[in-house]
Amino acid sequence: MSGTSEWLDGHEEKAWNAFFEMQMLFWPRMARRLQQDTGLSEPDFAILGALARAPEGRLRPYELSGATQFEKSRLHHHLTRMAGRGLITRERCPGSSRGAVVALTPRGREAVTGAFPRRAEHVRRWLTGPLTPAQLDALTEISGTLAARLRAESEGAGQEGVRPEETGPEGTGSGADEPPAAGGC
């Protein structure tokens, strides 16, 4: 067992239980309020937010997968639903016979722009507001440490994302999506 117990010790158990309970209470509440206040789901908001921050409101599907951590199938199906609602479009990547680009529509930009202030209100109410400045600094440091560790383990394990095969612009899933060439999309 290389010197570690199979069980969490009391201190670890207490930390795990507090973290788990907070997550179980926090994320459903955030999702429910976002949906009620804006009509957007958490996946909608994640995709639209990534696109809103991207140059020209456009990203390749593998970039969206990296930003949202959605698997290929989930991303494909969700993009199809969002395109049907007029929030995004799928386009062919100029200069690439099989690459695709997901673009934010004016309707999608309006939806996410309207949702950002509501999301900030929710974050302040249930996450940052109840914390002291020192607690907020500790949360930031702890979250950054854990995220870096999880990213490193994912990269080291060769975690699969959407790339190299991507969802094509017509939603066929048939196009391989190579990383963009210099100056490409």
Cβ atoms of 114 and 34 closer than 8 Å: no
pLDDT per residue, tens digit, the chain (185 aa), is 455 778 999 999 999 999 999 999 999 999 999 999 999 999 999 999 999 999 899 999 989 988 888 988 999 999 999 999 999 999 988 777 778 899 999 999 999 999 999 999 999 999 999 999 999 999 999 999 999 999 899 887 654 443 333 333 333 333 334 444 444 55
Cβ atoms of 100 and 88 closer than 8 Å: no
| 38: CB partners within 8 A, 6+ apart | 45, 111, 114, 115, 118
Report the candidate in 114, 107, 68 with the shortest Cα–Cα distance to residue 89.
107
The pLDDT assigned to 3 comes to 57
> Which DSSP letter does residue 56 get?
G
The pLDDT assigned to 11 comes to 96
